[in-house]
A and B are shown apart, each in its own frame.
Chain A
Amino acid sequence: MSWLTEYVRPKIRTLLGRREVPENLWIQCPACQQMMFHAELEKSRKICTHCGHHMRASVPERLKWTFDEGAFTRIELPKVPADPLKFRDTKRYTDRLKEHRDKSHLDDAIAVAHGTIGGHRAVVAVMAFEFIGGSMGAAVGEGIVAAAKLAVLQDAPLIVFTASGGARMQEGAISLMQMPRTVIATRLVKEKGLPYIVVLTDPTTGGVTASFTMLGDIQIAEPGAEIGFAGARVIEQTVREKLPEGFQRSEYLLAHGILDMVTKRDELPATLARLISLLRIRMKEAA
C-alpha cells in the first residue's frame, strides 16, 4: 500500500509524555470553582472530584486513557498544502499555524494512533480543541481519511474523539470540502464491516458535527459536552428566543435521540471495549 509507505511512518511516543506541570499546582474547576491538586485531577482523568464536571483534555491524555496500559503508536499524518489561500486576517494564517504548532507540539488539530482497547486492535483519531479551536481544514480532513484507511488496513474499528469549533475559515472552501471528504472516510470503514464509533467531547460544533461526527455506528458523548451545528449565539440572534435549559448539551441530545449514550470518561475505555467485542463478530481476532 503506497499511502502507508508514503505517509504512515510509525513513531513510538513515550507513554507518559511531558510532565510540565508541577505536582503541587492548584487547578480550579470551571463549573463549580472548587480548587483541586493537579495530581488529583490527573488521577481522576480531569473529572472534577467535587462536581463531576469533565474538563477539556489534551491529545496525549486522551490517547493514554483510551488504549490498554496507555500504550499506543502515533502515526505521522499526510502533509497538506500550507496556507493555500495566502490568508491573512489580523494575523497571517502561517503565523497562527506556527504559534499553535509551537504551543501544542501538534502539527494540526488532529492526531491518529493505533493500539489495543480491551485487547481489541483499534485505530483512534483525537481532535485537539486547543489547536485553532479544533477547526477543520485540510489537515484534519486528511487525518480522518488516513485514520479510516489505517483502520481498513488493520481490519480494526475506528474511534474518533471529536472536539471542534467548526470550520478552518482560513482555508475557505477547502475547509468546506473536508465535509464530503470525511464522509467518504466513514464509508471506507463501514463498507468493510468495521465499527465506526464517535466519542463527542466538549465542544463539537459546526461542519465537524455535520459530517463524520454524526455518522457513527455508535455515538457516545461525554457528560455536559456542548454539541450542535449552529452556534448558540447565532441561534439566539436569529430566533430571538431564550435558549432552553441544557440546550446543545450531551444530555439534551441524548433526550432528542441524537446520541446512543452519555458516558463518563472513566467508564469510557470499558464501554468501548465492550462495544467492539459485541460488534466484532465479522472481524478477525486481534493479532
Chain B
Amino acid sequence: MRHFLDFEKPIAELESKIEELRKMSEADGINIAEEVGKLTEKADRQLRATYAKLTPWQKTQVARHPDRPKAKLYVANLITDFTPLAGDRAFADDAAVIGGLGRFRGRSVVVLGTEKGTDTETRVAHNFGMARPEGYRKARRLIELAGRFGLPVLTFVDTSGAFPGIEAEARGQAEAIARSIEACLEAPVPVIATIIGEGGSGGAIALAAGDAVLMLEHAIYSVISPEGCAAILWKDAAQAPVAAEALKLTAEDLKRLKLIDAVIAEPLGGAHREPDAAVAAVGDAVAAALAPLLALDGATLRMKRREKFLEMGRDALI
C-alpha cells in the first residue's frame, strides 16, 4: 500500500480507481484498457502539476515521507564492499549514525549517514535518526580515519536534529557536534554531503560542512523545524506552514542563497515513488561533485572549503 500525503488525495483517488478497474477487468474479462489509459494519464498529469509547485510545507511532508529512501538504501545501492565500523571508542555505538568503509564506483571511501529507519522496529533501533554525542564522535573518528588514508568522505544526511535528551546533554552533545563540524572542515580529503530528506539544524550540519553540499529536490534543510519556529515566533505550532515558507528551507531557495552547491532532481512524484531512480540520481551527482575534487591536495581542499563557508551569506539577496 502506497502511503499518500494529505495534498496527494486527488492522486490517491485516481490511482485507487485505476486499481479497481484493473481488478474488475481481471475478474470479469472486460476490456477497459482505454478507460485505464485515460485515468492513468489524468493521474500522471495531476501528479506532475502537484509536484511542480509544491509549497515549502508540502516539501517538508515529502522530505519526511515514511517511504522516502533512507541513508541505508543509498549505502546499499551505491557502495560496494561496505564494511560498517562502529563506536566512538569511549562510550557506545550510536545506531542513528551509520558509517564505514566501502567503494563508490570502484574508489575506496568513508561513508556516513544519519539513518531514520524504515519501520517501527528499525526506527526505534536508529532512534529515528536523532544522534547522541556518540554518533557525532563516531562521525568525527571516521572522518579523521578518511583523512589518514586519503579517502573521500560521502555523507547522507536525513535527521530531524540531534537527540534532545538528558544523557545526551550530560555527555556533551554540543561539544560532539562542534567537533564533528570541525572534522568536516579540517579533513584533508574531499567531503561530499547530500541532504537526502531532512537536514535538521546542528544535527545535520555536523555531517554537512563539506566541499560540496548537494540536496535532493524535495529535501529540506533548516536551522529549526517549521513547527519549532512557529511555536517560538508565532506562539502557535499550527503556523508551521507559514514558518516553512518564511524559513526558505527548500533546495531551490538554498541554492539561490548559495548555501548549497547543487540540487538533484527527483523522480516524478518524489523519491519515494521510485527509490532506485532517486538513489541512482544521487550517485551520479555525487560522482560529478567528487571528480574535480580528486585532483586537489589536502591543503588546497581545506583552504577552498574554508573560503566557501566564509563567503556564505555575505551577498545573500533573494
Residues of A within 8 A of B (CB): 80-81, 84-90, 138, 141, 145, 167, 169-181, 183-184, 186-187, 206-207, 209-215, 228-231, 234-235, 238-239, 241, 243-244, 247-248, 252, 256-258
Contact = CB atoms under 8 A, between A and B. Distances in A.
Interface of B: 162-166, 168-175, 177-179, 181-182, 184-186, 201-202, 205-206, 209, 221-224, 229, 232-235, 243, 246-249, 254, 257, 259, 306, 309-310, 312-318
Given A172-B247, A181-B312, A258 B233 contact: no
B312 A177 contact: yes
Contacts of A174: 257, 259, 312-313, 316
B159 to A, nearest CB: 13
27 contacts: A81-B314, A84-B318, A85-B246, A172-B223, A173-B221, A173-B247, A173-B257, A174-B257, A178-B313, A179-B178, A179-B205, A180-B181, A181-B310, A181-B312, A187-B186, A207-B202, A209-B174, A210-B173, A211-B177, A213-B178, A215-B179, A229-B177, A234-B164, A235-B166, A248-B169, A252-B170, A257-B172
A138 B310 CA distance: 10
Given A138-B314, A241-B166, 9 more contacts: A81-B317, A169-B223, A174-B257, A179-B178, A183-B181, A212-B178, A214-B172, A248-B169, A252-B170
A111 B153 CA distance: 37
Contacts of B243: 89
Contact of A210 (B177, B222, B249, B312): B177
B169 A247 contact: yes
Contacts of A213: 174, 178
B169 A229 contact: yes
B247 A177 contact: no
A84 B316 contact: yes
B166 A239 contact: yes
A89 B257 contact: no
Given A81-B317, A187-B185, A229-B174, A176 B166 contact: no
A84 B257 contact: yes
Nearest to A252: B170
A84 B313 CA distance: 8
Contacts of A206: 202
Given A173-B221, A235-B165, A179 B181 contact: yes
Contact of B178 (A171, A172, A211): A211
A256 B170 contact: yes
